[in-house]
Amino acid sequence: MRVEYSFSMPTTWKNPAMIAGIEKLIKSAGFTDTAQQTVRMALTEAEAAAIDASTTKYREGDIFLICDSGGGTTDVNLLRVKSMGRKIELEPLDHVEDVPIGSCLIDYQMAQHIVKRLELIQEHLEGDLYYLAEDMLVNKFQTIKHSFPNPVVDQVHLEVKGLAGSQTYPEAGIKNSRMAIDRSTITEIFDAQVSQIFELIDERFLALEAEFPQEQISYIILSGGLGSSPYLYEKIKKRYEMNFGFRSKNSASVRIMKVLEPQLAVVRGLVRKRTQQLGVKGGAGQEVFGTRRCRNSYGVITRELYNPVVHRGLSSVTDPVSGKLYVVNIIEWFIKQGQVVDVSKGIQRAYCMRLGEQERSKTHRARIVISPLPVNQLPFRTTDIGCRELAAVQYRLTDNDMKPEKGQGWKVMKKTKCWKADFFFVVKLGPADSKFQIVGMNGMLSSDHDSLDVEYLEGPEATAPARPPDPPPMEKVDQRKSGIKSTLWRKAGRWPA
C-alpha cells in the first residue's frame, strides 16, 4: 500500500536550505524506508490553516485574513477566494508573515513571575525553582489559560508542590502552600501576546490598503491553540469588528470567526490540499494556490562589464580571453519579495552559452542567493550586507539545448567547432522551498530538479554577507542584441566555474 507523509512547516522557517535539510532528516528517520513511502513538505502552517478555513461557506471574491496562533508562532495570511465548491482556489494577496507569539510564551512568562516570588522563600524549597514553577503550571493553570477570561474572579490559586503540608509565606503571596495569582497579572501576560498579534494584523491590513484600497476584508479567521482562546477572540472582535483602536478602508465590514476545530486546522488543510491536487473520482487534480507571493528575494550571481559611471570605486578583474574589465559578484535579483509567482510555471531566466567541443558534456554551475530585505534595500553585490548564498545548482546541458554555432564571433574559437546553447533556468517556489529545472528553448524539459545536483549551503544568517567565491562565468548581455525575447545571459565554458 502506498503511504504519503505530508508535513507542514512553521511560517518562521523562511530558508529553503533549512527546509531541504529537515526533509533529509525526516527521510533518514525512516519515513521512506520502502519504495511505497514518500515524503512531502507540503505547506506552511498558515497556508494549511487557510485551506481548512476556506471550507466555510464563503462566496467567490471574499477576502479573509487567517490568523493561525499556536504554541510558539503566530502566522497571518491574506487571501481571496477565487473559486469554491468541490475545488477550492485561493489567491494570496500578500506574502505570509509571522511572529514568535503563542500560548507557550504565556506559560513561560507566568513561570518567570512565579520564580521571582519563589526566590523570596528559596531557603524553604528544595530543587530548581524553574522546575517547581513548571510543575505548578501543568494542570490547573492550563485549564485557567484555555478558559480565560472566565470565570471572572479576582485571584486564582496554584499549589506550590515544593512545600510540604500547609505553609504560609505572606511575602510571596502563599497561603496554605498555595500561591495566589491576581487576575491583573494573567491579563497583563495575555495582553503582551495580544498586542503583538495586533501589530502583525495591523501591518497586513495597512499593506493591503496601500496596494488594494478598494478591496474589503470579509473575515478574520482564528485557528490554532492560542487562536481558540476566548480572550483573544474578544480582543480581536473589539478591535477589528467593533473598530475600537483601529480603522482602515479595508476593514469596515470585517467579521471575526473561528475554525471548527482550531487544533486540527493545519492537519485538515494538508489533507484537503493533497486530495484536491490528486483529483477524485477520475477528475483532474488542481492546485489550491495557483500563485504565491514570494516571501524572500532570490538572485543569481553574475558579472557585469565595467562601466566607470555605474561601477566607480568597485574592484574589477580583466577577462583573460577578451581582455575587458568586469565587476564580479554582482547580484541580478530575478524574484523579488512580494512578487506574484505562478506555481506551475515558476520564474524563468534565459541563458545563452557558447561552448567548445570539449565543453559540451561538462558540468556547469549557477549560484543562487537569497535576501529577506525589502525590495528597496536589496544589496548590489554578494559582499554587501543583507544577502547570503543559498544554493549551488550543478547542471549539464543536452543536445536539446545546443546547436552548431553559425557565425563564430569569438576569435579564440574560430578554428574550432563551436556550439551555441540556448535554454531557460527555471525556479519554482513552494511554500518555503525552491525547485530548479533546465528547459530548452523549444519548451522541452532537459533536467528536472531531482536530476540536478543542488547543494544547499549552510551559513550565517541573511544579515551577513555571502562568502566571496571565484569570479563567476555569467555575464549579462544586451537583450536587444540577442535573439531571445527575455533577459539574456552569456556564458563561455572556457571560463572558470
Q: Tell me: the pLDDT tens digits for 58-86?
A: 788 899 998 989 888 898 889 999 887 77
Q: What are 440-491's pLDDT values in tens digits?
A: 776 767 677 667 788 887 643 333 334 433 433 444 444 334 333 333 333 3
Mean predicted lDDT score pLDDT of the chain? 82
The mean per-residue pLDDT over the stretch 185-193 comes to: 97
- Between the alpha carbon of residue 416 and those of residues 410, 412, 419, the distances in Å are 10, 8, 10
Where does the pLDDT of residue 177 fall: very low under 50, low under 70, confident under 90, or very high at 90 and above?
very high
pLDDT of residue 229: 94
- Grid cell locating 122: 528559596
Residues 253 and 301 placed together within one structural domain of the fold: no
The mean per-residue pLDDT over the stretch 345-368 comes to: 78
Q: Which of 292, 322, 338 is the last residue of a domain?
A: 292
Residue 235 lies in a domain: yes
More confident residue, 448 or 116: 116
Where does the pLDDT of residue 492 fall: very low under 50, low under 70, confident under 90, or very high at 90 and above?
very low
Residues 371 and 485 placed together within one structural domain of the fold: yes
Query: Is residue 105 scored above 80 in pLDDT?
Result: yes
Query: Is residue 277 scored above 90 in pLDDT?
Result: no
Residues 301 and 418 placed together within one structural domain of the fold: yes
pLDDT of residue 435: 82
Residue 129 lies in a domain: yes
Where does the pLDDT of residue 280 fall: very low under 50, low under 70, confident under 90, or very high at 90 and above?
low
Q: 258 forms bridges with which residues in the sheet? A: 222
User: Does residue 331 contact residue 299 with C-beta atoms inside 8 Å?
Assistant: yes
More confident residue, 321 or 248: 248
Number of domains in the chain: 3
CATH number at residue 70: 3.30.420.40
> Is it true that the peptide bond before 16 is cis, omega within 30 degrees of 0?
no
User: Does residue 381 contact residue 330 with C-beta atoms inside 8 Å?
Assistant: yes
pLDDT of residue 410: 42
Residues 304 and 422 placed together within one structural domain of the fold: yes
The CA distance from 144 to 27, in Å, is: 40
Residue 497 lies in a domain: no
Residues 461 and 367 placed together within one structural domain of the fold: yes
More confident residue, 476 or 334: 334
pLDDT of residue 301: 87
Residue 91 lies in a domain: yes
Map grid coordinates 525553582 to a residue: 129
DSSP per position, 264-308:
GHHHHHHHHHHHHHH-STTPPP--SBSEEE-SSEEEEEEEEE--T
Where does the pLDDT of residue 296 fall: very low under 50, low under 70, confident under 90, or very high at 90 and above?
confident
Residues 86 and 198 placed together within one structural domain of the fold: yes
Full domain range(s) for residue 149: 103-186
Question: Phi/psi at 475 (nearest 5 deg)?
Answer: -135, 130
pLDDT of residue 417: 66
Among 125-129, 262-266, 333-337, name the one with the lowest average pLDDT: 262-266
* pTM attached to this predicted model: 0.75
Residues 141 and 82 placed together within one structural domain of the fold: no
Where does the pLDDT of residue 405 fall: very low under 50, low under 70, confident under 90, or very high at 90 and above?
low
pLDDT of residue 409: 43
The CA distance from 223 to 203, in Å, is: 19
Where does the pLDDT of residue 406 fall: very low under 50, low under 70, confident under 90, or very high at 90 and above?
low
Residues 45 and 173 placed together within one structural domain of the fold: no
pLDDT of residue 349: 81
